[in-house]
Amino acid sequence: MTHDIRPGSSFGQRPTGRKRGARRVGRKTRIRKQDHQLDLDFGTTRENSISNKKPTRSKKCSGTPHRFLKLHWMAWLVAVRKLRASCSSFLITIVVLGIVLSLPTGFYLLVKNVKIGAQGWSDLTQINLYLKRDLPEPRIQSFVQELQASQRFDSVKFVSAKEGLREFQQHAGLGNLLTHLKKNPIPATIILTPYASQASEDILDEMLESFRMRPEVLEARLDFQWVRRFWAGLHLAETAVWMVSILFVCTAVFVMGNTIRLLIEDQRREIELIKLIGGTHRYIRRPYLYMGAIMGLLAGVIALLLIGLMKMVLQQPLGEFLLQFQSLFELQFLDAEESIVLLLVGLFLGLTGTWMVTTWHLRRIHPD
């Protein structure tokens, strides 16, 4: 059997240009499908990323709002898909972050409610002015009228020396023992109750110093010195709350960063392939940033729910406790602005922790 090897026959000849082109097109189509499937994991298409050079923008569509929104929308879908794929592990991280955010927020609410409850204690703040013994009666009346005309005091009460001795006998339970004294040891007293706006520590100190300089006053004393100690302790508590908040914020950043780090290590091979075909850190990082933002916002929501639950649990026993002191006080929750701030803090922590970890690890990942 003989074979036709004439120039016009197809046997023994190389494939024509059309056939070679068809084969190349088939190979390119398969490569593009594989690369497109790989790029979908990171929320971007493979445009301008095949070569090792920096991507060049097209004059028509690159940089337009449509392309920008498309890239971010794809990154958002990838982030949601990854969260759903590992729902249990991410849910644990979100709950831990919510607890971390709720603790400093609870301390802040505690200080806030104590401040609100302490505003009613201004009525208990009184200044006692002990007058000199040899002070004539007209001068005492003039001094009392001067204090009553002042706009700084809610009430001005004058207690004479005889009335003071009688009240002391009743409260001390000494009976007629003090009647045998030749001289009344109790001086005349003026009891001043300042307005709530005048009951701050600085204003009270200023009033005490001014009264001590008056010639009519033997001694000026502020009752309930524990109020000053209380406000000093409250200021210390505020400082401690800020310090604890900073520690918890650092803890939240580390928890978020560790979660993203484990995810990056799990997808290290995919990241290496993306970088090998020219993928930049920006579009590799983008889905992780959306994941951090979602986790941070959900952690803020969980923190709000936990704080609301604590308020519901503590409201009844606190009301029963304050009822013993004839005080009606309701625990205050976060207002709208404070709730938004808490959500923004969770969002910021999620983005910050994710950005730090992804930037650090992407610089260390190099394709072989």
pLDDT of residue 176: 63
Residues 57-92 have pLDDT tens digits of 444 444 577 776 777 788 788 778 877 877 888 899
- DSSP labels for 300-357? HHHHHHHHHHHHHHHHHHHHHHHHTTT---------HHHHHHHHHHHHHHHHHHHHHH
CATH 3.30.70.3040 for domain 126-223, yes or no, is yes
The whole-number pLDDT of residue 79 equals 76
Low-confidence ranges of the chain (pLDDT < 70): 1-63, 68, 119-124, 171-182, 223-225, 322-328, 368
Measured between alpha carbons, how far is 219 from 124 in angstroms, rounded to an integer?
A: 20
The neighbour count for residue 113, using CB atoms within 10 Å, is 18
**Dist CA 17 CA 130 (whole Å):** 116
Which pLDDT value is given to residue 66?
77
CA-to-CA distance for 312 and 150, rounded, in angstroms?
45
pLDDT confidence of residue 346: 93
Q: Where are the domains of the chain?
A: 74-119+230-364, 126-223
For residue 15, the 8-state DSSP code is P
Q: What angle do CA 208, 209, 210 make, to 5 degrees?
A: 90
- Residue 232 is predicted with a pLDDT of 83
